[in-house]
Amino acid sequence: VTCTMWALLVILLVSSGGLLARKSRFTNLKCAVLDPSYCSYDICYLKVLGREIVGINILAKLLKGPFHNAKVNLSLWRKFSGFRPFMFNVTFDFCKYMSQSTTNLSFQKIILDALATRSNLNHSCPYEVSEMIHAEFQTLINTFQREIIVQDLVFSKEFIKYLPLPSGEYQVRLMAATDNDWKTEVDITMFIDEY
């Protein structure tokens, strides 16, 4: 009788996903240069930091600059037999956004706040990347003067606590432009499990 109860419990847990639950995490990263005279990517990869812990690492060198105007497009895509637009697609003036300290909840605030936890993408224009930097990145900055760094950014449920996203595979697409010309695109793919 107890073997039957254990077998039923295991079947119930497996069928409900209790033993097969996947942790929310980053699953893919792609960096594309749309204007090779503007920037290059020395680093663009996911790094396994531990069991089911994956961090984003990006080192983008700005070949021109400083720039005084920048436009960013952030969009959210969900996988349904391929990625399809889902809920958010916002284009905004990056320089204006970064110069105003805003507490308003928006898609761009959620994404940029998440990036700011592990990057030097944290100040307004003119954008000289070496001006403000986390202390842990100082050795990299001594070598390169104009670059954007994201180091070991790990997915956290805090990033999406205000987004009503059901379980599934999603992609955040970030496109950047200066002088109304798109220069680069970064696609971050992640698996999200409902908490």
Name the band, by pLDDT with cuts 50, 70 and 90, for residue 24: confident
- pTM, rounded to two decimals: 0.78
For residue 34, give the 3-state DSSP assignment: coil
Mean pLDDT of 27-41: 95
Quote the pLDDT of residue 141: 47
What is the average per-residue pLDDT within 104-126? 85
Q: Please give the pLDDT value at position 11.
A: 60
More confident residue, 98 or 18: 98
Residues 40 and 65: beta-carbon distance below 8 Å: no
CATH code 2.60.40 for 22-192: no
pLDDT at 32 over 80: yes
Summary mean pLDDT of the chain: 81
Neighbours of 57 (CB within 10 A): 16
Residue 177 and residue 64 in contact, taking contact as beta carbons nearer than 8 Å: no
Confidence of residue 165 (pLDDT cuts 50, 70, 90): confident
| pLDDT, tens digit (0-9, with 9 covering 90-100), for 55-89 | 999 999 988 877 888 999 999 999 999 999 998 99
